[in-house]
């Protein structure tokens, strides 16, 4: 029966690497003075005309099929919100 060697017992055959030397380059930056100042113009605000929204009032007979379905669902949603907040 053959015995197995542990990997830590096996000597490494790779050559040791020498430590790397890092060369840093230093660059010099000359400072430049700023003499010219450009004036900032004031921002002109113009008012845009606001269009008034027109409220559409229609009777129940003039509603579309989709509106007939969504209207009770919206009322049901608002009713459940009020129930959950205990305000009804």
What are the residue boundaries of the structural domains of the chain, listed by start? 62-88
Q: What is the pTM of this model?
A: 0.31
pLDDT tens-place values along the chain, 88 residues long: 667 766 665 555 555 666 677 667 777 767 776 677 777 777 787 888 888 888 878 787 888 888 888 989 999 999 999 999 987 5
Q: Other CB atoms closer than 10 Å to residue 71's CB: what's the count?
A: 12
35: left (phi over 0), alpha (psi -120 to 50) or beta: alpha
């Amino acid at each position: 029966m053959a015995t197995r060697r542990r990997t830590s017992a096996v000597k490494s055959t790779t050559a040791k690497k020498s430590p790397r030397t890092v060369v840093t380059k230093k660059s010099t930056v000359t400072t430049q003075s700023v003499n010219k100042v450009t004036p900032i113009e004031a921002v002109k605000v113009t008012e845009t005309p606001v269009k008034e929204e027109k409220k559409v009032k229609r009777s129940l007979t003039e509603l579309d099929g989709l509106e007939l379905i969504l209207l009770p669902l919206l009322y049901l949603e608002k009713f459940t919100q009020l129930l959950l907040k205990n305000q009804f």
